[in-house]
Amino acid sequence: MNIKKATKEDLSRIAEIFVFNNRINYFPIFKQEDFSFGELQVVSLIENYFGKTEIMDTLFVAEDNGIIKGFMEIRGTEIGKLYVEPCFQSGGVGDVLIKYAIQNLHVDFLWALEKNTRARAFYNCHGFIETGEKEYEEGTTEYLLKLVRREKV
């Protein structure tokens, strides 16, 4: 598996992975049909978010035999996003992404949705622990929890 900076050619796949993960993992929590199945679309995500230069510069993809299997958005030393194609989850893609981020990009913190227990467990296994600091996910009543690498606590 190869980790590389994302290119414009990768954006449709990145947006697709993001959309499917959000529908699978977040729709059961937020239950916002208008957002999950209306506003959340691949083309509009590329145009309004992922395709912006300041975001493009922060994107990395995990590619295996020409197939993008996951991606991450790194802002400074923060993991802003880390998503794996649902069909490839539990196959080591997330492990490769996060190890690359720790070793090469020196990430040391992230925010995870409190109710996303699977993500929190994944990050815990990779040395991230909850600090007790939390804040609301913008525009919702759901909490985000701050996690930092053990060496930073």
Q: Note down pLDDT in tens along the chain; length 153 residues.
A: 999 999 999 999 999 999 998 888 888 888 878 887 878 888 988 988 998 989 999 999 999 999 999 999 999 999 999 999 999 999 999 999 999 999 999 999 999 999 999 999 999 999 999 999 999 988 888 899 999 998 644
Sign of CA dihedral 105, 108, 114, 117: positive
> Taking the CB of residue 16, how many other CB atoms lie within 10 A of it?
15
Do 69 and 15 contact (CB within 8 A), yes or no? no
CATH class of 1-107: alpha beta
Q: What pLDDT, on the 0 to 100 scale, is given for residue 101?
A: 97
Helix, strand and coil content of the chain, in percent to the nearest 5, comes to: 45, 30, 25
In the chain, where the domains are located: 1-107, 108-153
Do 62 and 92 contact (CB within 8 A), yes or no? no
The span from the CA of 96 to the CA of 98, in Å, is: 6
Strands 109-113 and 78-84: parallel
Q: Is the pTM of this model over 0.95?
A: no
> Taking the CB of residue 145, how many other CB atoms lie within 10 A of it?
19
Q: Which of 93, 102, 99, 100 lies closest to 69 in space, CA to CA? A: 93
Q: Pull the structure tokens for residue 105.
A: 């990009």
Q: Read off the amino acid at residue 69.
A: K
Q: Read off the amino acid at residue 130.
A: E
Q: What pLDDT, on the 0 to 100 scale, is given for residue 34?
A: 81
- The label of the residue with tokens 């697709």 reads 16
Q: Pull the structure tokens for residue 59.
A: 């994107």
Q: What pLDDT, on the 0 to 100 scale, is given for residue 152?
A: 47
Q: What pLDDT, on the 0 to 100 scale, is given for residue 151?
A: 67
